[in-house]
Structure 1
């Protein structure tokens, strides 16, 4: 049985030797020379990667990290899924490659700030510490190029289910994993039929009345807290629903996730913010060579 995540495991994750690599396999992604980045931005926010689960889209995230260059990279919680690793250890090579890629970015000059969430709450024991150049913080205030202040938090501390009924949150997490497993089988069939990827869990989240109400309550709670803090807006994750909108004069930004939506929030050099749909970006990149080879 694997030891639970603690300081020794964090040191293993941040080791240049990559102690979690699968035996006999080359760590290809983390140490390969990067291609010229296609997106140069001032800051980027990613969250809800859920390394340690079968649902994690590690290859897509590696592609994002290769093509996006930023001064500051925020890891806004649930990067490692401690809840899942407690139940069943799952750590393929691609997940180790993501960790090593993040550490490599930190070594090469990107400021990497990790704000733990509920699934990687073990890291909250190490606030104000640095592992391999990755700073661990409870929250952050980011100032954009145009002077706006954004409060950065994972968001679970403002989720009533997490705070008041943890057993219900754990049950929901188990059901969510089941939905993702079902979704993988469904999309395997859709791929054979030539149909595009479709997220069952995302569909349920947006269509089930109680789920829609939960998302709305979560957004309102965070907007109220940001208003109390006197900031212009906030960046969070947690609910796996990328969005950027005004809530009563507060700019609410959710960077999404790397399980369902494959999205990130970025700040451009002029201070403007944008949600990048990386699945769509990869699809366009794949279509371009095909279009160039088509006869006129």
Structure 2
């Protein structure tokens, strides 16, 4: 036989997945909490970089000044997030609207500010074909944050401790091949007072929207993504980039969707960005401002 017949056939080539970008008219994100060790800045940057939109609304608590004042924790991935947003404004001519939240309330002394395509304010009216939507962070309807800020900050410390415990627990679950588990979300679902708080929060915000002649409200603050009707008002909550990893998309046809980071990766054929290991995040806490980046 000839040498050609003796050759082993090459293994079939698996076609590489074609990466795409999402297209939306408007993107709403909130509660990134840059400066916190548990902030998923790499994933948030990945999402923003690969989503095309005319307007990006950052609805409060993008920077966590409370945590930075106490412990620090800023790293390269947090700086990269800021650069990603600014590059989007410069290269894609995206309008950027930054609304203050309770963790970045240092902005109160400066707002409103408008610089070309960049606006910093405390609220925004978003126009759609079906009517106007009021966009606010929502901390004004949290009576603890509004009336007892020291209790809110104490609660923030407790939340950080819970996240630290959750981080170690999820690391253990990952090495055993199990999915991540959110302790804080479990608490919200199981504790009656937490469930009652969320319900009252939603009702108060829909009343505010009605008072301003809006058909809907878009908020954040409570880290509970939602897309539903509360009374006659369309209530949307963009969630957070600490645990939920969610955002709101408004499409060109006027439809709204709450999308998760995993759904984004699946639709765009992109590999999810990795999470920092327990050791890396703990090192971040010890060093304050440092150069630890999430493991890829």
Task: Report TM bin, short chain.
Answer: 0.7 to 0.9
Q: Tell me the equivalent position of 1:123.
A: 107
Would you say 1:154 and 2:137 are equivalent positions? yes
* Larger gyration radius, structure 1 or structure 2: 2
Residue 234 of structure 1: SS of its match in structure 2?
strand
RMSD of aligned residue pairs (Cα, Å): 1.9
| CA distance in 1 between partners of 2:146 and 2:133 (Å) | 24
Q: Is the counterpart of residue 105 in structure 1 residue 88 in structure 2?
A: yes
1:137 is matched with which residue: 91, 100, 121?
Answer: 121
2:165 alignment counterpart: 182
Q: Identify the match of residue 164 of structure 1 among 147, 167, 183.
A: 147
Determine if the alignment matches structure 1 residue 65 to structure 2 residue 36.
Answer: no
Query: In the aligned structure 2, how far is the partner of 1:154 from the partner of 1:71?
Result: 21
Give the conservation status (yes or no) of the 8 Å contact 1:103–1:132.
no
Alignment check: 8 A CA contact 2:21 2:50 kept: yes
Flag structure 1 segments of 5+ consecutive residues without an equivalent.
1-34, 289-296
**Is 2:243 the partner of 1:260?**
yes
Contact preservation (8 Å) 1:267, 1:274: yes
Indicate the structure whose relative CO is greater, using CA pairs within 8 Å and at least 6 residues apart: 2
TM-score, normalised with respect to structure 1 = 0.82
**Contact 2:47/2:264, CA 8 A, preserved across alignment:** no
CA offsets, 1:55-79, max 9 Å, x none? 1001110110122110000000000
- SS of the equivalent of 1:150 reads strand
Q: Distance in 2 between matches of 1:65 and 1:87?
A: 28
CA shift, 1:36, in A, is: 7.0
Measured in 2, the distance between the counterparts of 1:38 and 1:106 equals: 17
Q: CA deviation at 1:133?
A: 4.8
Match of 1:225 among 208, 229, 234: 208
Could you tell me how far 1:237 is from its partner in structure 2?
0.2
238-247 or 204-213: bigger deviation: 204-213
Q: Secondary structure at the match of 2:24?
A: strand
Residue range with higher mean Cα deviation, 36-45 or 117-126: 36-45
Match of residue 194 from structure 1: 177
Contact (CA 8 Å) 1:37, 1:68: kept in 2 or not?
Answer: no
Q: Which runs of 5+ in 2 are unaligned?
A: 1-17, 273-296
Structure 1 segments of 4+ aligned residues over 6 angstroms from their partners: none
Distance 2:75 2:148 in 1: 32
Q: Distance in 1 between matches of 2:83 and 2:23?
A: 21
The CA distance in 1 between the partners of 2:116 and 2:46, in whole Å, is 21
